[in-house]
Structure 1
Amino acid sequence: MGFLKRGGWVVLVVLLHASGAVAQIVNVQALFDEKAELGPAAAIELGGDWRTGSTQLFSIRGSLVGQLRSEREVWLGVIRGEYSFASGERIVSQVLEHVRYRRPFSDLLSGEVFAQHEYNEFRRLQLRILLGAGPRFVLFNEEATGLTFGVALMLEHERLRKDGEPDAGDRYTDPRVSSYLLGRVRLMENIHLVETVYFQPRVTRPSDLRVLNETLFAVTPNPRVTVGIGFNLTYDSAPPATVPPLDTQLRTTVGVKL
């Protein structure tokens, strides 16, 4: 996702969106604009589907990403939402907010602190809150490639919705270790590959594990247009009742700088 600097906007229109339930792990690392100028930057993503005839479907989704960079620190904020109806029945309803603060200590080491709130009706999440902090290491950063590793200890609180399932209304408060590895490769002058893998085991029971693998191809045919194709795979070894452990998501976006 590109950021527009100093007063402009980036509009990203979703062309294709095929998925199961949306993943609980959110890859905010790929949203940082590492080459942004000092000061504020912002991006907005909008998408939708409207189908009639044999398939009745209406879907709208969007996100707003803001970044504030100074010489000594970086703030990132994300707001996402999605609502979908099929044949008059709501099939997707989710909202997420994430705030992250990063302070560099050297070219190779920085510290991060973050907080997140999430509601996802069809993962049966009435409430999910995260608070975490940890170091981030730049393993190498060349013109065409880069590799970053981060790890954080986070406190996770979940409350499931009250419905007819056996675990309805259950509450969980657990510490988790959240580690990620992010790699960037410039395949050609205007084509980049970004690969991110997250592992989030529960501290008190490591077999309770969540994994996210996100692959993103970004093509920039000219300075004003960016086309992205991404595939996400998420695994949760202990999901709520009736929620599948494995999710996939395929999405294509077009970014236009105005």
Structure 2
Amino acid sequence: MSVATRAGLAALVFCSIHPAFAVVNIENLSAQPTRLGWSGNTEAAVELKSGNSEREAVKIGARADWFDGEDTAFVVFGYDYGQSNDIKDADSTFIHGRYIDAYSANTAFEYFAQVEQNEFRRLSSRAIAGGGIRFALSQPEQRMQQTLAAGLFHSDEQIEALDPYPAESESGIFGNFYWVVKYEINDRSALVNTLYWQPALHGRDGFRALDLFSFRVQIDGRLSLKVNLTIDHDSLPPGGIEKTDSSLLTGLSYEF
């Protein structure tokens, strides 16, 4: 099925700048599903420094996929915590679930939900639920594949207080449009780029934009080296928060 794809979590993070989570990029580092039933992967990273500077960080993730030959479902979980010189500088969690219902060889409907928190974006909680339609513009055997998708989601956010900004509650409906380009370099490596545009349609103003570039090299049948570059832009973020976050992610992933 050319439109039901599955993806790994973002690679283990060893180098990052302002980490952020939005609707997760389900296309990055993906492979056409071939195994029926359940599959998945787990990832973990620990960073420790001592001496002139101290740093402790842990990043864990897990993913479960289900494929019945036509339709696909998956759940992704991620957690990131870190502190430098006894000062916390990372604390975020997310869980995302998605069901992709194949309608034809090139068209599918998708439904998704996500909850997340990120202390360093003043995000006490964000709950997202939505759906849409996606179109495969290429055949599965082509080296370069493209997908276009359009949909809507409802977002409900609880914003933490940050002096002098008070706590807030925000909700609204956003459009969800994305374009995926994937290039298979060979059987063991691939480049993928996904561009999201999420304009506020009701109850909110502004827009969100997200670009995710990924590179994967398979080391053996189950182990891969992964590199992700993410740029996440919110045109109207909460007070005291930068509009644009970026992150560079590199590490290993093991599939089972």
Fold-level similarity (TM above 0.5): yes
Change (3 A) 1:31 1:79: farther
Amino acid at match of 1:165: P
Candidates 85, 88, 110, aligned match of 1:87: 85
Match of 1:126 in 2: 124
- Cα deviation for residue 92 of structure 1 reads 0.8
Deviation sequence 1:118-152 (CA, Å, 0-9, x none)? 11111101110001011011011333111011111
Match of 1:56 in 2: 54
1:106-121 → structure 2 map (5 Å cutoff): 106-121=104-119
1:139 maps to 2:137: yes
Gaps of at least 5 residues in structure 1 are 4-9
The 2-side partners of 1:175 and 1:251 are apart by 30
Q: Is the 8 A contact 1:40 1:67 kept in 2?
A: yes
State the secondary structure of the residue aligned to 1:16.
Answer: coil
The 2-side partners of 1:11 and 1:152 are apart by 22
The 2-side partners of 1:238 and 1:83 are apart by 26
Match of 1:6 in 2: none
- Cα deviation for residue 169 of structure 1 reads 1.7
Change (3 A) 1:99 1:25: closer
Q: Is the 8 A contact 1:130 1:154 kept in 2?
A: yes
Match of 1:153 in 2: 152
- Cα deviation for residue 185 of structure 1 reads 0.4
Match of 2:200 in 1: 202
The 2-side partners of 1:12 and 1:158 are apart by 23
- Cα deviation for residue 230 of structure 1 reads 1.4
Match of 2:17 in 1: 19
Q: Is the 8 A contact 1:194 1:216 kept in 2?
A: yes
1:167-182 → structure 2 map (5 Å cutoff): 168-182=166-180
- Cα deviation for residue 234 of structure 1 reads 1.1
- Cα deviation for residue 183 of structure 1 reads 1.1
The 1-side partners of 2:63 and 2:146 are apart by 23
The 1-side partners of 2:204 and 2:9 are apart by 40
TM-score (norm 1): 0.89
State the secondary structure of the residue aligned to 2:28.
Answer: helix
Match of 1:38 in 2: 36
- Tell me the matched-pair count: 251
Change (3 A) 1:112 1:67: same
Change (3 A) 1:40 1:101: same
1:28 maps to 2:26: yes
Amino acid at match of 2:121: R
The 1-side partners of 2:95 and 2:29 are apart by 14
- Cα deviation for residue 49 of structure 1 reads 1.1
Change (3 A) 1:12 1:47: farther
Q: Is the 8 A contact 1:11 1:256 kept in 2?
A: no
- Cα deviation for residue 251 of structure 1 reads 1.2
Note the aligned Cα RMSD (angstroms). Answer: 2.5
TM-score (norm 2): 0.89
Candidates 67, 73, 96, aligned match of 1:75: 73
1:219-258 → structure 2 map (5 Å cutoff): 219-256=217-254
